[in-house]
Amino acid sequence: MKSVVTKLDRLALRDFQPPRYKACNVEVLHFDRITKSVGGVFINDAGAVNALWLPISYQDNAGRKESFRGLPVSTVRPIIDVRASRIPVSLNILPAQLLTYPLSKARPGLGLLDGRIQKLKSCYEDKRQVLGIKRCAAGTDCAKKFESGDLLLAIDGRVVVRECGRGSRSGW
């Protein structure tokens, strides 16, 4: 069965009560056709795996729930490669939970200048958004430098508009 990616979206989960770990800063795929399964892979015409089909568990007031989404292999490939090499490495992470604002709200509501908006628009035709800081891990350097509501416009001088890829196209 052939399936097409219809949407690349943020994985948005409500805060859990009581507080516990939850995935954040992850982009997931929506497809036009899916079959009933408990997981699997999506392959391209050459037979290479380019997305995983997996369950995402969460909890709301009614209890534990589960939905299925696609996860681009580009998200997990660096981790798989490091594990396969068996060479110890350090991993740099941004200890912050991100959120997105539409560019249409960033100019009037957040005071983003037109020049910056044009740079953000040029990164992706389909992602007209800006990243913001929702919260930082306590006691980290990130928590000293950022506050809730700050905008994250660039990392190491490169414009970012998505949680993954630091501004580069991932093929989706």
Q: Bridge-partner residues for 53, per DSSP?
A: 40, 70
Q: Are residues 45 and 14 in the same domain?
A: yes
The tokens for 27 are 């982009």
Q: Is residue 90 over pLDDT 60?
A: yes
pTM exceeds cut of 0.75: no
Look at the chain and report how many structural domains it folds into. 2
How far, in Å, CA of 147 to CA of 163, rounded? 18
Q: What is the distance in angstroms between the CA of the first residue and the CA of the last residue of the chain?
A: 19
Q: Are residues 115 and 59 in the same domain?
A: no
- How many residues are there in the chain? 172
Check residue 48 and report its DSSP letter: -
Identify the domain boundary among 85, 117, 132. Answer: 85
Q: Which domain holds residue 163?
A: 96-167
* Top mean-pLDDT range of 20-34, 127-141, 154-168: 127-141
Overall average pLDDT of the 56-69 stretch: 78
Residue 22's pLDDT band (cuts 50, 70, 90):
low
11 occurs within a structural domain = yes
pLDDT above 90 covers a percentage of the chain that reads 9
Q: Are 5 and 172 in contact (CB under 8 A)?
A: yes
Three-state DSSP state, 161 = coil
Three-state DSSP state, 169 = coil
117 occurs within a structural domain = yes
64 occurs within a structural domain = yes
β 63-72/49-60 pair status = antiparallel
Q: What is the pLDDT of residue 169?
A: 38
17 occurs within a structural domain = yes
91 occurs within a structural domain = no
Residue 120's pLDDT band (cuts 50, 70, 90):
confident
162 occurs within a structural domain = yes
Q: Is residue 168 over pLDDT 50?
A: no
Q: Which long-range contacts (CB under 8 A, 24 or more apart) does 147-152 make?
A: 151/101, 151/106, 151/110, 151/112, 152/98
